[in-house]
Copies of this chain bind each other. A is one copy, B any other.
């Protein structure tokens, strides 16, 4: 394996496990886990992955599908996903030009862990909202 990373063991082991040393901020910054976590948290990336998981889309199709995204952020996010090998960009030299975006096989494998997390969110939405209503706002 290459770099060190913050240990996120599978559930049984996480309960029996203790991190031995302080988690260094620098390692965490380049840790593949926190790297992916940050991407999951950014505003548009996972929404695009989900949309493209349904079927390939053209640029303006994505722009219309996601209300509120700017062209700047749509392009930037797609390029980042492409650079990470999650999204494929195909230019068809027609007139007018058409560009199709789709998930790569790697991108496709992300759908499953993503829906696991999304399932959790939906299943526990009520509990979270209840907790929020109990404690006074921060």
Contacts and interface: CB of A to CB of B under 8 A. Distances in A.
Interface of A: 1-3, 5-11, 14-15, 17-19, 22-26, 28, 32-42, 46-47, 50-51, 53-55, 64-69, 76, 79-80, 82-85, 106, 109-122, 124-132, 134-135, 137-138
B54 A17 contact: yes
Number of copies: 2
B83 A132 contact: yes
Contacts of A132: 83-85
Contacts of A66: 22-23, 25
Nearest to A123: B109
A34 B85 CA distance: 23
